Amino acid sequence: MLMSVLAMPAAAGNVYRCDAGDGITSYSNKRVAGGNCKLVGSYKSQRAVKPKARPAPAPAPALAAKEVQPADASRKAAMGGAVPPATVSGSPVAASLAAATPSPSAPRLIRGQVYAYVGKDGVRHYTSVRPKGVSVASMRTIRYSYMETCFACGAKPGVDFRSLRLNTAAFNDEIRNAARQHGVEEAIVRAIIHAESAFNPRALSRVGAQGLMQLMPATARRFGVTDAFDARQNIGGGVQYLAWLLKRFNGNLTLAAAGYNAGEGAVDKYNGVPPYKETRHYVERVAILADRYRSALGPVAAASAGGLSAR
């Protein structure tokens, strides 16, 4: 679970999840002798980036975990299963992050941290338990936010998407630029981001979906996203995927949203919205949010869609 938030080492290779039998789970680019190790991902060469300090987001109230829906499995199968480590961006997350106000109706959000260090054997380790005998100077602390499921998939019972507070200020430049580049209404982009992460750029789901638009690792790679926790990259890749879905389903937002949630293969299989409770809730709520964002943003934002429309 934690691997999706780990920084990439400066060399290419594989990443293993190793259980040593003492209750400590570590992540390493080599198999740990005597441990039960499983390959969980791989990474490409990249220069190490020193992250700048960021203000910690406000804590979100807890919500009981929900049972895994078939949509989770379909989405994972359609978009890729292994979760490779992702680079922690060194650039600030823009002032727009401050504009993203956590919603009390959000699904359970778990915040935590993992520790990265290079052992005496030259192996890079990642662990959720602070390692003993490792100096602070040689250890990196990486923070993450873990969501049980997407915002619109796991909202509390009774939450009315027709009246919950919209966010028309967060990530303005990133959203507007991506919407114009790929010909998608800004209102639709904001509706998907709201439905997926409620504008949390550090969100990580239990199936490995990452960032604002909850990109699965395979989808991120497919659209050239190297750091899914970087707002500009995540939105750029997510909007490109959304534009592809809208074109594939002839501008039908209902089917495009269903494909975004459950995978386009599931939409093809059922010749429409899959019969998954989560996906049906998601599609309905995205439509409501899109209509509300259209009204809130006005004609200027709608003009960014160019020739691509959604219905």
- What confidence score (pLDDT) does residue 141 get? 79
Q: How far apart (Å, rounded) are the C-alpha atoms in residues 307 and 247?
A: 11
Q: Is residue 282 helix, strand or coil?
A: helix
- What confidence score (pLDDT) does residue 8 get? 40
In the block, residue with structure tokens 């789970």: 25
Q: How far is CA 96 from CA 175, 201, 297, in A?
A: 11, 10, 16
Active-site residues: which are they? 196
Task: Note whether residue 241 is domain-resident.
Answer: yes
Take residue 133 and report the two structure tokens written for it: 């005998």
* CATH code (residue 37): 1.10.530.10
Residue 5 in this model has a pLDDT that exceeds 60: no
Q: Which residue has the higher pLDDT, 50 or 138?
A: 138
pLDDT tens per residue across span 58-116: 444 333 333 334 444 444 444 433 333 333 333 333 333 333 444 444 445 556 676 87
- What confidence score (pLDDT) does residue 278 get? 92
Residue 159 in this model has a pLDDT that exceeds 70: yes
Task: Note whether residue 310 is domain-resident.
Answer: no
Q: Which residue has the higher pLDDT, 164 or 10?
A: 164
Residue 187 belongs to domain spanning: 2-303
Residue 12 in this model has a pLDDT that exceeds 60: no
Mean pLDDT score of the chain: 74
Question: Which pairs count as long-range contacts for 274-278, CB under 8 Å and 24+ apart, including other chains?
Answer: 274/70, 274/71, 274/74, 276/69, 276/70, 276/71, 276/74, 277/69, 278/69, 278/70, 278/71, 278/72, 278/149, 278/153
pLDDT tens per residue across span 232-250: 999 999 999 999 999 999 9
Q: Which of 68, 69, 82, 77 is nearest to 265 (CA)?
A: 77
Task: Note whether residue 308 is domain-resident.
Answer: no
Tally of structural domains, the chain: 1
